[in-house]
C-alpha cells in the first residue's frame, strides 16, 4: 500500500493482450493437460511451472484479473524486489512470464466444474466448455468487506485487510481496526509495533477472541476499544482521513480521525464451484495434503483457496509451484496408466488430515 498513489497500471491490460495472442494463434487440444482456475499469484506461479514443463496450460482468469494483490499499491515483502513493486505490476510480470513459456489465457469466469468421468469438464460464463486431465484450483479468497460506498476507492489508500502487508506504512499513525475475533486482535497487537494509537471498533460489548488475546489487547496502552459501534462511512479525498462511527445503543454518530483502517471481519474462500465435490474444512477452505492434492485425484489446489493461515503472495506462489510440480507428476503417471497414491488421496478428509 502507498497512500495517495495513483495507479497507472492494470494487470488486466497485459492479460487481455495475452488472450488476444492466444486465441489468434492457437489450436487447443480437445482435452487440455491442465486447466488452472484463477489469475492470482498462485495461478500464475502454477502456470509458469506447468508451461515450462511443456504442458501447455490453459489459465482461466476469473473476474479479478491478477487476484487480490492487483488491488493494492506497493508490495514490499515479496522477495526479490528490494524497493518494492506495485501489486498490479507484480502480477503482470508473473503473467508475462507464464505467457512467455506457453500459457494460454482466457479472460472468463468458471461457472461449473464436472469431476465425474476420466477427465474434468469446465464450463465458463461466456459459454465455453473445456476438458482437462488435471485441474489446478487457485480461486483464492476474498476478505469480507464492510460494504461501504467509499471502501473500494480507498482500498490501498488507507483502507486495508492485511496488517502483515500494510502495517509498515503506518508508523506513528492513528489506526482503526474493525472486528472482535482472534484475527482482529492478533492483527491489532501486530499493528501496535507501528501505530501510535489503535481504536478497535466492535459491534458488541464483548469480544469473540480467545481469553489470552483479549487480556493482552485490553491491557495494551496503545489500544482503545470502542464498544457497541459500527463504521458507517469512510471519509477522505485522496486517502482515508476519518471514519464515521455509530453507537448502536445510543444511536449517536461521530467522526473519528484515522490514517488507516484495517478490516478483520473474516475471509470467504471462493469455493462455490467445489461445494460437495472436493473435501473442505469447517470454514469452507479446500483440504489439501502437503503435495497440494485435493480429495479428488488429478485436482490440485494452491493459494488462499486452501490456506487461511499465511495469506501472502510468497506463500501462494510457493503453493502454486508445488501444485504444478505435482500435477506434472500426476500427468506423467497417468500416461503410464498408473497413479499409485490415488487410493490414499481419496481418503483425504479434514478428519484424516488432523489425525
Ligand X SMILES: Cc1cc2nc3c(=O)[nH]c(=O)nc-3n(C[C@H](O)[C@H](O)[C@H](O)COP(=O)(O)OP(=O)(O)OC[C@H]3O[C@@H](n4cnc5c(N)ncnc54)[C@H](O)[C@@H]3O)c2cc1C
Active site residues: 162, 165-166
Closest contact distance (angstroms) between CB of 335 and ligand X is 27
Decide if residue 140 touches ligand X (CB under 6 A). yes
The x, y and z cell numbers of residue 127, run together, are: 459459454
Closest contact distance (angstroms) between CB of 253 and ligand X is 27
Mask for 23-62, x = binds ligand X (CB under 6 A): --------------xxxxxxx----------------xxx
Q: Residue count at the site for ligand X (CB under 6 A)?
A: 42
**7-30: burial string, b at 16+ Cβ within 10 Å, e else:** beeebbebbeebbeebeeeeeeee
User: What are the φ/ψ torsions at residue 153 (nearest 5 degrees)?
Assistant: -60, -35
The x, y and z cell numbers of residue 265, run together, are: 471481519
Ranges within 168-227 binding ligand X (CB under 6 A): none
The x, y and z cell numbers of residue 310, run together, are: 499465511
E-state strands within 248-337: 253-257, 260-263, 267-269, 299-301
Closest contact distance (angstroms) between CB of 65 and ligand X is 6
Do 286 and 274 form a contact (C-beta atoms < 8 A)? yes
Decide if residue 137 touches ligand X (CB under 6 A). no
Q: Which of 2, 104, 110, 321 binds ligand X (CB under 6 A)?
A: 110
Of 289 and 341, nearer to ligand X (C-beta) is 289
**49-59: burial string, b at 16+ Cβ within 10 Å, e else:** bbbbbebbbbb
Decide if residue 143 touches ligand X (CB under 6 A). yes
The x, y and z cell numbers of residue 21, run together, are: 495472442
Return the closest-CA partner of residue 6 out of 169, 237, 284, 294: 237
Closest contact distance (angstroms) between CB of 117 and ligand X is 20
Q: Which of 101, 109, 227, 339 binds ligand X (CB under 6 A)?
A: 109
Decide if residue 63 touches ligand X (CB under 6 A). yes
Of 141 and 207, nearer to ligand X (C-beta) is 141
Of 74 and 195, nearer to ligand X (C-beta) is 74
Q: How many whole angstroms separate alpha carbon 81 and alpha carbon 336?
A: 42
- The secondary structure of 165-210 as a DSSP string is HHGGGGTT-EEEEE--SHHHHHHHHHHTTT-SEEEEE-SSSS--S-
Q: Which of 57, 67, 269, 298 binds ligand X (CB under 6 A)?
A: 67
Query: Footprint of ligand X on this chain (CB under 6 A)?
Result: 37-43, 60-64, 67-69, 71-72, 75, 77-78, 109-110, 138-141, 143, 155-156, 160-162, 165, 270, 273, 303-304, 311-314, 316
Amino acid at each position: 500500500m502507498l497512500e495517495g498513489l495513483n495507479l497507472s497500471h492494470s494487470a488486466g491490460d497485459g492479460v487481455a493482450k495475452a488472450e488476444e495472442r492466444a486465441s489468434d494463434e492457437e489450436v487447443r487440444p480437445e482435452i487440455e493437460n491442465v486447466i488452472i482456475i484463477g489469475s492470482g499469484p498462485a495461478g500464475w506461479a502454477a502456470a509458469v511451472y506447468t508451461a515450462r514443463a511443456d504442458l501447455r496450460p490453459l489459465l482461466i482468469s476469473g473476474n479479478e484479473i491478477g487476484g487480490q494483490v492487483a488491488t493494492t499499491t506497493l508490495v514490499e515483502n515479496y522477495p526479490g524486489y528490494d524497493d518494492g513493486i506495485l501489486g498490479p505490476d507484480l502480477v503482470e510480470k508473473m503473467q508475462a512470464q507464464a505467457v512467455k513459456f506457453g500459457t494460454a489465457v482466457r479472460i472468463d469466469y468458471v461457472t461449473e466444474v464436472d469431476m465425474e468421468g476420466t477427465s474434468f469438464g469446465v464450463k465458463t460464463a461466456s459459454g465455453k466448455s473445456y476438458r482437462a486431465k488435471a485441474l489446478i484450483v487457485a480461486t483464492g479468497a476474498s476478505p469480507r468487506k464492510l460494504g461501504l460506498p467509499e471502501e473500494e476507492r480507498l482500498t490501498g489508500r488507507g483502507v486495508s485487510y492485511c496488517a502483515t502487508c500494510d502495517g509498515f506504512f503506518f508508523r506513528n499513525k492513528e489506526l482503526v481496526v474493525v472486528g472482535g475475533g482472534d484475527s482482529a486482535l492478533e492483527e491489532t497487537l501486530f499493528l501496535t509495533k507501528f501505530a501510535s494509537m489503535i481504536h478497535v471498533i466492535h459491534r458488541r460489548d464483548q469480544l469473540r477472541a480467545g481469553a489470552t488475546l483479549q487480556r493482552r489487547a485490553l491491557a495494551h496502552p496503545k489500544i482503545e476499544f470502542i464498544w457497541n459501534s459500527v463504521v458507517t462511512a469512510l471519509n477522505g479525498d485522496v486517502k482515508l482521513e476519518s471514519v464515521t462511527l455509530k453507537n448502536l445503543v445510543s444511536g449517536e454518530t461521530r467522526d473519528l480521525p484515522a490514517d488507516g483502517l484495517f478490516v478483520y471481519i473474516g475471509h470467504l474462500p471462493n469455493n462455490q464451484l467445489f461445494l460437495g465435490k472436493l473435501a473442505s474444512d469447517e470454514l469452507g477452505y479446500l483440504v489439501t495434503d502437503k503435495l497440494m492434492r485435493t480429495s479428488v485425484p488429478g485436482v490440485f489446489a494452491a493459494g488462499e483457496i486452501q490456506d487461511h493461515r499465511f495469506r501472502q503472495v510468497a506463500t501462494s506462489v510457493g503453493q502454486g509451484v508445488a501444485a504444478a510440480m505435482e500435477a506434472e507428476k500426476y500427468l506423467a503417471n497417468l500416461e503410464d496408466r498408473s497413479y499409485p497414491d490415488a487410493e490414499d488421496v481419496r481418503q483425504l478428509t479434514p478428519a484424516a488430515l488432523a489425525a
